[in-house]
């Protein structure tokens, strides 16, 4: 329970970090925080123009939508939140070295707040996605209520990995460069830009052991198709996200006493 307790106990601190992070990101700009709405809206319009109007890419009726742009956008939203949280976790300890040297400061919260910031931006994107679907008279089912459960698993998966990455980067500074290549491999090994049916049968085992595939498939199932994801992907997602969350917290706590000496 230590990993959950640290989030509950310091949630107010995490929230203040997130608020400061979101305000600092758009400080000095004319639109301010409205850019967090403009950016995903422009992305959705761009995907619609390129894939639906120019390239005329279509997906099957079983995918829950005739628009490949919507299908792609639905898969990209969780990926962008995950990648943002992991990318920013590489330097978060070094950026706050002055806080780490204070023995009373809970270092565990530092890799968490970039993950929460990414989720806030994702929720804005989901609002735009739901608005676009309602505009096209898309029919939702009660299964859309299961989306928060998938979001919780996604959060645990990302935070667990962020703890591991943030801790190791303090000692191995090159990890940030390696992570960029690994994330590129991960996004193309996950059916985001293509449907799972396009993956050859002999490579389906890669999808079975990819928790991000379970996240993306869960989003598309409950939002677009209105069907329940298979119990095997969900079991994999719950098990892997819980394990990574707990292992990540334990690894971070083991490394954190040495942070002040290294930085």
In which domain, by residue range, is 254 found?
14-22+30-262
Please check whether residue 49 lies inside any domain of the structure. yes
Phi, psi of 117 (to 5 degrees): -60, -40
In a domain, 5, yes or no: no
Q: DSSP states of 34-102 as a string?
A: GHHHHHHHHHHHHHIIIIIIIS-----GGGT-S-HHHHHHHHHHHHHHHHHHHHHHTSHHHHTHHHHTS
Share of the chain above pLDDT 70, in %: 91
**Mean pLDDT over the full length of the chain:** 85
**pLDDT tens digits, 121-160:** 899 889 888 988 888 888 888 888 889 999 999 999 999 9
pLDDT at 19 over 60: yes
* Model pTM score: 0.89
Give rounded-to-5 percent helix, strand, coil for the chain.
80, 0, 20
Instruction: Report if residue 1 sits inside a domain.
Output: no
Counting the structural domains of the chain, the total is: 1
């Amino acid at each position: 329970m230590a990993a959950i307790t640290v989030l509950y106990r310091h949630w107010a601190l995490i929230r203040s970090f997130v608020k400061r992070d979101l305000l600092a990101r758009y400080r000095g700009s004319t639109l301010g925080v409205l850019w967090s709405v403009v950016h995903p809206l422009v992305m959705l319009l761009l995907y619609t123009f390129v894939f639906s109007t120019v390239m005329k890419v279509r997906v099957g009726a079983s995918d829950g939508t005739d628009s490949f742009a919507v299908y792609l956008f639905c898969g990209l939203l969780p990926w962008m939140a995950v990648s943002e949280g992991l990318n920013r976790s590489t330097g978060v300890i070094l950026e706050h070295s002055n806080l780490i040297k204070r023995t009373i400061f809970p270092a565990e919260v530092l890799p968490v707040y970039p993950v929460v910031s990414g989720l806030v931006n994702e929720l804005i994107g989901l609002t735009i996605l739901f608005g676009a679907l309602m505009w096209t008279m898309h029919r939702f089912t009660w299964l859309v209520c299961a989306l928060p459960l998938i979001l919780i698993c996604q959060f645990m998966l990302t935070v667990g990995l962020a703890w591991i990455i943030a801790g190791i980067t303090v000692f191995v500074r090159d990890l940030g460069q390696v992570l960029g290549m690994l994330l590129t491999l991960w996004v193309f090994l996950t059916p985001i830009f293509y449907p799972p049916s396009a993956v050859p049968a002999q490579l389906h085992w890669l999808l079975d052991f990819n928790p991000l595939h379970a996240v993306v498939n869960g989003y598309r199932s409950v939002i677009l198709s209105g069907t329940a994801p298979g119990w095997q992907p969900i079991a994999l997602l719950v098990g892997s996200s819980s394990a990574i969350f707990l292992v990540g917290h334990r690894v971070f706590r083991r490394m954190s006493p040495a942070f002040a000496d290294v930085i």
